[in-house]
Structure 1
Amino acid sequence: MNKFFSIKWEVSDTEAPILLRDLLKQKQISKAALTDIKFHGGALFVNGEESTVRKMLQKGDVVHVCFPPEVRSDSMEAEDLSLDIVYEDEHFLVINKPPGMPTIPSLYQPKGSLAAAVLFYYKKNGIPATFHAVNRLDKDTSGIVLVAKHRFAHSLMSNQQKDKTIKREYVAFVHGNVCGDKGTINSPIGRNPESIIERMVREDGQPSITHYVKLNYNEKCDFSAVRLQLETGRTHQIRVHMASIGHPLLGDDLYGGSESLIKRQALHSEKTMFIHPFTEQVVQLSVPLPLDMKMLWK
């Protein structure tokens, strides 16, 4: 049988006796994943013998979950594009995405996406996976994108996102001298009814919270460098929130920023921290500012 990814557990004395179904639930394997395993080429084994979820497990039993192979979408093409890989293991890729590269292809930019580059990398290295982005960045935002190599890893990281245990820090350059050393913007964000792209602060929007710290102020060019952390992950959240307090991002013409100093929104996903769901180790990563922002930093 062509198995894609598998994982094993030994049943502990604190877990036994327990139904296989209940153990898998404790291990965060969803009902949808079990259905996928059952009908699309996966399998469950206990002590080397294929089993069903109704199997009663005892201390010392070895459970082996084999996930079905992944099927890549026909609409997603692989492209030979360079990748700046910051971290890789059998479960995850962490990539430093350059500005100008969309995370996934779109009607307006079907070529040159991060997804296409990752699929080519998988093909070249014999990794039987499709593209699972844990987080996405706007086309013109640079920095860290976390990619799961299989559905189970993606599911576990999605749970971490819901629990807010994945931490991300951004650096942005914004117009004007930001008042005070730090602040929090707690303003709901929703769609602008006059645009299919633009978001705005509105009372009936989704709860959105952004924390920021001012790093410095460039008096000559009249902009501030700020470091930001998000409690929520709304579309364009940093861009909308900073514009809402009178400090749109440099280069962000959609939300009132000028392109005189930089031709894209000056936003970079600099750091990430997460608990690796398989090793339980804390992973902390950072990437430097891209050249266009680094030149402004001087």
Structure 2
Amino acid sequence: MSQPAPAVPPLWHPDAPSTVVQGDNLAVVADLPDASFRLIYLDPPFNTGRPQARQTLTSVRSEGGAGSVIGFKGRSYERIKGDLLSYDDRFEDYWGFLEPRLIEAWRVLADDGTLYLHLDYRESHYAKVLLDALFGRESFLNEIIWAYDYGAKPKNRWPAKHDTILVYVKDPSAYHFDSAAVEREPYMAPGLVTPEKAQLGKLPTDVWWHTIVSPTGREKTGYPTQKPEGVLRRIVQASSREGDWVLDFFAGSGTTGAVASALGRRFLLVDSNPAAVAVMRDRLAACEPGVRFVG
């Protein structure tokens, strides 16, 4: 009599080690359980190409099984439609690529969790329409502007030197946000406040002045879209607690994992690019010796 095949352990569970997965992020995230992650940070490829044809975008919001659209693994959604322009240099249908991944991000976000979606100025307003439909407008928390001052400066328009980070919470009455945990920054005009306040510094606002990763600095990995640890540090400090799970399924150089590890959080990172996973192996080995690599 043949023995039954051993059960395949789940990719993720609450007691798993911090993990890096090489694979298609949509397939990976579709296998994760609902409401698993306190914090999700997403930095998808920026859609920086020339204008293409107008298309209809279908955005969806979970309605507890009562929706008219059957999605991943039999889950149902209510369909909401709107016209958006498509701008595409890497995908035939950028929003067709991103939309199902945002649906899955909503599903695996904890009830008191927060999503940070990092985009550039070309796509952020379209993303907000989609996220308003998916999360509900009342779940919109912030639009963070990350401003920097490096790179090319055209002479025929104002140079674009910022990214946009859209912040949404699963439940606007029960999300986690700890301003006391965030590193404070200097006042721009310290003479206008008391010496005590000037020494303490101020809580960052929704405009973050922070340099890009220095080409010669200690953080530099050589990965082309690497984000600075200082930006992720604010996000992780404010919207998660020690021991919480952080998810990033456009992981790139692994900045989210490096910061999460340094702050005592656990992480699940996903990327399909073997070069990204190779960078993460080198980078995370030093800060997270027990990290597991899958795929």
TM superposition score category, shorter chain reference = under 0.3
Higher helix share: 2
Structure with greater proportional strand content: 1
- Give the structure-2-normalised TM-score: 0.20
Larger Rg computed on CA atoms? 1
Greater relative CO (CA pairs within 8 A, separation 6+): 2
Q: TM-score, normalised by structure 1?
A: 0.20
